[in-house]
Amino acid sequence: MTDSTTGTTGTAGTAGTTGGPRWPVTEAEAVAEQERIRAAADPVGPGPAPGRARRIAGVDVTYDEDSDLLVAAAVVLDAESLEVLEESVHTGRSRFPYIPGLLAFRELPPVLAALEKLGTSPDLVVCDGYGYAHPRRAGLAVHLGVLTGLPCFGVAKSPFVFDHTEPGPRRGDTSPLLDRSSTPAETVGRALRTRPGVRPVFVSAGHGIGLDHACAHTLRLTPRYRLPETTRGADGLSRRVLREIRQGLREPYGAAER
DNA sequence: GCGACAG
DNA sequence: ATCTTGTCGC
């Protein structure tokens, strides 16, 4: 399989072991893929309201600073008690650099691998990043939702390229997240105060669930901390496992990796 | 060309 | 993302 041109044709790599999606290699290919993802996405929902999702998953990836090692984690919580029902991890290596706007191509291959290791599929997935709030409306949560068919939304820690005004001081206060580069300016998400006196998080719809339900779930997932328990769980697990690998307490790659 | 830029 | 201990405050 050789390219006859200078790297704009073909794709390479597969996710998992069963021949999942094929991942782009060049930026141009990645952007073209996002246009297809956007076309297939449902950012409106309304999707599952709180109470209609029992198993809520959080996913996150931790990277080693100077090797290409990474650990992706999925943590499934009981929507009511927020207790951990199941956890899974995938250890591998990064195959796509971090490029703003193209984060999904770096994070989703290992995230999908971790999700596939769960015994039972979740009812809803919370991503650490954006969904609809994206230059091409195809952020992490949109992309993951389209690939898996699961309702999925995003909770980000910083406003990315978007504008917002400070939401009110109380838990639950919101302000619109605006994309002023589009014509006309469009509301793409919401700054949401999850804890009083603490910086807001930035919620956006993904696939199969709308912004209102996404914010409602986010509030239920933040009874004590700024970030959703799903995100905290996945972040903690992935960091823990990467530390174990560094200490030689765990094998760096899974069976099919390398 | 320069700056900004989820994780 | 990651580098990093203590420290201030409820």
The answer to whether some atom of strand C lies closer than 7 Å to the beta carbon of A132 is: no
Residue A13 domain flag: no
- Max mean pLDDT range (A22-26, A122-126, A183-187, A240-244): A122-126
User: 């991503």: which residue's tokens?
Assistant: A127
The CATH number assigned to the domain holding A169 equals 3.30.2170.10
Span A128-145, pLDDT tens digits: 999 999 999 999 999 999
Distance A247 CA to C7 C1' (A): 29
Question: Rounded to whole angstroms, how far apart are CA atoms A47 and A251?
Answer: 39
The integer distance in angstroms from the CA atom of A246 to the C1' atom of C2 is 15
- H helix or E strand, kind and range, residue A85: strand A84-93
pLDDT of amino acid A15 = 44
Question: Could you tell me the pLDDT band of residue A256, with boundaries at 50, 70 and 90?
Answer: low
In a domain, A16, yes or no: no
Q: Which of residues 224-243 of A touch strand C (CB under 7 A)?
A: 239, 242
pLDDT of A17 above 80: no
Output the distance from A181 CA to B3 C1' rounded to whole Å: 16
- Is A206 inside a domain boundary? yes
Closest CA to A152 of A179, A112, A187: A112
Asked if residue A35 belongs to a domain, the reply is no
Predicted pLDDT at A4: 32
CB of A78 closer than 8 Å to CB of A51: no
Instruction: Evaluate if residue A13 carries a pLDDT over 60.
Output: no
Rounded distance in angstroms from the CA atom of residue A232 to the C1' atom of nucleotide C5: 22
Percent of chain A with pLDDT over 90: 82
Judge whether A179 is annotated as a binding position: no
Give a yes or no: residue A10 inside a domain. Answer: no
A37 φ, ψ to 5°? Answer: -60, -45
Protein-contacted bases of chain C (C-beta within 7 A): 1-3
Q: Which domain holds residue A117?
A: 43-246
Residue A29 lies in a domain: no
Taking C1' of C1 and every protein CA, the nearest residue is: A63
Q: Note the pLDDT tens digit of each residue in A151-205.
A: 999 999 999 999 999 999 999 999 999 999 998 999 999 999 999 989 999 999 9
Say how far A236 CA is from C10 C1', in Å. Answer: 24
- Whether the CB of A29 is less than 7 Å away from nucleic strand C comes out as no
Who wins on pLDDT, A6 or A107? A107
Q: Parallel, antiparallel, or unpaired for β A124-128 and A152-156?
A: parallel
Work out if A62's Cβ lies within 7 angstroms of strand C. Answer: yes
Strand B positions closer than 7 A to protein CB: 4-7
Is A235 marked as a binding-site residue?
no
Mean pLDDT across chain A? 90
Number of structural domains, chain A? 1
Q: Which pLDDT band holds residue A7 (cuts at 50, 70, 90)? A: very low
A37 domain residue, yes or no? no
Residue A10 has a pLDDT of 34
Contact between the CB of A66 and strand C at under 7 Å: no
